[in-house]
Amino acid sequence: MTPPRRRGAQGGRGRGPGLREPHSPRTPPSPPLRPSPAREVAVTVLERVEADASFADIALEAELGARRLEARDAALATELLFGTLRWQRYLDWVLAPHSRRRLESLDPRVRVILRMTAYQIAFLERVPAFAAVNDAVTLAPRTPGVSAFVNAVLRSFSRRGAREREPAPPRDPNDALATRCSFPTWLVERWVARYGREDAEALMRALNERPPLTLRTNTLRITRDALAARLAAEEGLAGRSTRLAPEGLVVGPGGAPGEWRAFADGSFAVQDEASMLVARLLAPAPGTTVADVCAAPGTKTTHVAALMENRGRVLAFDREPARLARVGEAAARLGITIIEARHGPVEALAPAFRAACDGVLVDAPCSNLGVLRRNPEVKWRRQPSDLGLASRRQLEIVAAAATMVRPGGRLVYATCSLEPEENEQVVGTFLAAHPDFKTDPPDEFPLPLDPDGWLRCLPHRLGTDGFTAVRFRRS
């Protein structure tokens, strides 16, 4: 497998290590007293992810909010953070020959500094190697000898050509593929067995892509074409319509959407195209009663309400009060008034709404293995045993949610996972215990469903996040 070329820090498709000889590191005449703010932010967040198991997107949002970086620096910090996390295993592999110590034995800050700098040298064509190395040394802990160690490892790595930087791959084919594509071996083994080697590699490459910025037009306030024209005029953003979701718009690059005037006045929500298809599968009608039993942070809940033209009743359940509060905030910003937020697990809340809903959405908590391009740290935290634990909880949720569906009503079960334990196995067990529910695929839908009625959004085929969903009707 030939690794792809390096790319610029602000664009291109990051598919793998570069083939060009990187810039040779040079010592600038006057080393900066402080590293670039982008690298400082990226290292800070990477260390939190590594040492404290923080979520990368949440930690980055907090750090950028506290520091108020320029748009260019914020974009670079984002690229360094997520690029390093996506390619973590590959970076450890190519760094290992240049370090006299095993990377896993290093202090977390030293380890993430080495990875982040190697990512810049191997992947980011526009970043001079000397700048990346010098900032790495500046960011290193002041413990005696640490700065010298970081400097030696990275200068050794920088001097090697792309071919020399790659050690011999592991002998096991799946282990070698996992190393080059930067995924856990156990996940590669599953995907190769399920999809075949070629498709499995394509899936991993797609999940290592920088995801597009996709917006869901708030059709209660504006049309998609009008939103595109407004963003072009106000923010200088080019936009293109999504292929499958009629309210979707892909835009960028252009900074943080939360700072745009069109966001403040509720003209759009940030949502991936695959996620938009879930509410459309439920197909809620205006004037009906619908429940979203795992509602926070409210992205799909507000989409359901918009499809209902803000007429009817939407029940929004979530067991985490802080996250549930975000549902109300999103609804207020979007001008939605029909959502009723209720705190608590669905098992506790469902009895009060027995057979009261025309439609119920179960966007089940899951492994998140379908959205790794947005949350790459997840692939380093999941274990095979997590899938079985998740499936048991998912079955409890969907069974409780089913009691809320009236005869003739619909139930949609969805996950941002591609794994059978969290999808087919949960649904099979549910249907065996609930003979009054049958699969109910729509007659028309933006993309073909499986013969058995499943919606499957595969990143390498559709360019979306990975989602799986199915619709039932109660007899």
Q: What is the pLDDT along the chain (475 residues), one digit of tens a residue?
A: 444 444 444 333 343 443 333 344 454 444 445 889 999 999 999 999 999 999 999 999 999 989 888 989 999 999 999 999 999 999 999 999 999 999 999 999 999 999 999 999 999 988 999 999 999 999 999 999 999 999 999 999 998 754 456 888 899 999 999 999 999 999 999 999 999 999 999 999 999 999 999 999 999 999 999 999 999 999 999 999 999 999 999 998 767 898 899 999 999 999 999 999 999 999 999 999 999 999 999 999 999 999 999 999 999 999 999 999 999 999 999 999 999 999 999 999 999 999 999 999 999 999 999 999 999 999 999 999 999 999 999 999 999 999 999 999 999 999 999 999 999 999 999 999 999 999 999 999 999 999 999 999 999 999 999 999 999 999 9
Would you state the pLDDT for residue 311? 98
Secondary structure (3-state) at 314: strand
Cis before 407 (ω within 30): no
Full set of structural domains in the chain with CATH: 37-168 (1.10.940.10), 213-270 (3.30.70.1170), 278-474 (3.40.50.150)
CB 408 within 8 A of CB 360: no
Is 294 designated active site?
Answer: no
Q: What is the largest CA-CA distance in the chain?
A: 77
CB contact at 8 A, 300 and 273: no
The span from the CA of 342 to the CA of 77, in Å, is 37
How much is the pLDDT for 91? 97
181, 294, 357, 416: which one is catalytic? 416
**Helix runs in 247-288, H state only:** 261-264, 273-282
**What residues does 269 pair with on adjacent strands?**
216
pLDDT score, position 71: 86
Cα–Cα distance for residue pair 361/291, rounded to 1 Å? 6
Q: Where are the alpha helices (DSSP H) in 68-184?
A: 71-86, 88-95, 108-123, 129-139, 146-159, 162-165, 173-181
Q: Pick the closest to residue 453 from 468, 470, 474, 467 (CA basis).
A: 470
Which pLDDT score, from 0 to 100, does residue 160 have?
74
